[in-house]
Amino acid sequence: MTETTILRGRLLRFAGDPFEIGAEAALCFDEDGALAMRDGIIADVGPAAMVLADHPGAQVTHLGESLIAPGFVDCHVHYPQTGIIASYGAQLLEWLNTYTFPEESRFGDRSYAQSAAQTYFDEQLRNGVTTACSFCTIHPESVDAYFDEAARRGVRAMGGKVMMDRNAPNTLTDTAQAGYDDSKALIGKWHGVGRALYAVTPRFAPTSTEAQLAAAGALWAEHRDCVMQTHLSENRNEIKWVGELFPGSFDYLGVYEKYGLVGERAIFGHAIHLSDREAARLAETGASVAHCPTSNQFLGSGECDVAGLMGRGVRVGLASDVGGGSSFSMFHTMKAAYEVAQRRGVSLSPVHLWWLATAGAARALGIGEKIGNLAVGLEADAVVLDLASTPILRHRVARADCINEALFAQIVLADDRAVTSTLSGGRVVYDQGESR
Ligand code: GUN
Ligand code: ZN
């Protein structure tokens, strides 16, 4: 018989979507809570007295005042850009040509890709991110390195080979047919194997010919249980360029619609400068948006209207978008989302922000029934947080009147130092004490 293990401490989880039911109803907080795990799955969760009574033989770890919370979910990131995070002085199109494409060109070398994947997963887990959906590069080797490393660590991971057949260096282009064939082979190799899930990944409209977008649409139609990820309306020059490259299309999303790339399980990075029609179509079709606020600030792209999109019924999740994004930390990402919304006159509550970085992001990826919350039957992916990880946080949290205030202080002031440990499938995959 397998053993049940229990973590006992303060416990944060969600009773629902705060954008629908309000922050107060969505927040489920136990001052003395417990999370019971068996075979990598959450077996029980709730007030400690109840959980402990129901599992008398379980091995219990007491975490005192630490907070047990759902593992963070980063629904749009580029693991091959780990090495070019924090690159100076360019906006999107120049940044791609100057920093991104030269770096991504190196990922045909399996050992280079493997080393980058190791560094990337170290960073993710140190920051409490238990699942991410990553772009790889055009090279199948980059996908193998990514999923191999995820499997080695036992974490759930989503990602896919970038499809790109024009407007990029020769070292970084495939063809419509090769992009289709390679992606299809990778789906067969990785999708649903262990905790890996494949994402069909045309980079963005400007780097794919119409033939390639059509091939991506056909591939996704054949594998509709895969996510389709791409970029949408991030930068004004990009949007103008899309208009020139696709003169027949009435807007940016229309290009993707034409090739069957919009619908449930499609997730669009950024979605900042949307027309009314585009926002309405995202909602109608059940597509999702990855909100990447540190990236949008860092690259000077603009400000996504998260509250407006959620209000219209679009599924939104938070994302780092590293290396355009400036941090692996979901605290930094939530803080940036708060600041971006503030500029639009909206003050997102800590519950709304935390939900976007966990359950919301999981739902945006179509895997909300697997991860993103602490609930019976979900995979046991969690973080243990020290709410007083720095002198200023200790000082501030000591004055907090309620958990909301303590959570907001984390969002504004915390970083990887707050992450004491990260659990994936019930196993500790990062322990701050061991890594020091
Ligand atoms: N648009 C197309 N490719 C990229 C990328 O790598 N990063 C960002 N931020 N936007 C993109
Ligand atoms: Zn991106």
Each residue of 136-164: pLDDT tens digit?
999 999 999 999 999 999 999 999 999 99
C-alpha 324 – ligand 1 centre gap (Å): 7
Record the tokens describing residue 217, joined without a space: 């649409």
Ligand 1 atom nearest residue 234's Cα: 10
At 363, the pLDDT band (50, 70, 90 cuts) reads: very high
Which residues sit opposite 30 in a β-bridge?
11
Sign, CA dihedral 262-266-268-272, equals: positive
Ligand 1 atom nearest residue 100's Cα: 6
Each residue of 15-27: pLDDT tens digit?
999 999 999 999 9
Pocket probe mutation, ligand 1, options 100, 104, 136, 333, max atoms within 8 Å of Cβ: 100
CA count, 13 A, side-chain hemisphere, 374: 31
Q: Residues with beta carbon inside 6 Å of ligand 1?
A: 78, 92, 96, 100, 203-204, 231, 234, 295, 321, 324
Which ligand approaches the C-alpha of residue 324 most closely? 1
Ligand 1 atom nearest residue 301's Cα: 9
pLDDT above 80 (res 1): no
Each residue of 167-203: pLDDT tens digit?
999 999 999 999 999 999 999 999 999 999 999 999 9
Torsion of CA 272, 278, 280, 281, to 10 degrees: -120
Q: Can you give the pTM of this predicted structure?
A: 0.98
**How high is the pLDDT of residue 2?**
76
Residue of the CA atom closest to atom 9 of ligand 1: 324
Instruction: Tell me the average pLDDT across 248-263.
Output: 97
Q: How far apart are CA 129 and CA 358, in angstroms?
A: 9
Ligand 1 atom nearest residue 206's Cα: 2
pLDDT above 90 (res 435): no
Do residues 143 and 159 make contact, with C-beta atoms less than 8 angstroms apart? Answer: yes
Q: How many residues does the chain have?
A: 436
**How high is the pLDDT of residue 436?**
62
Q: Mark the residues whose beta carbon lies below 5 A from ion ligand 2.
A: 269, 321
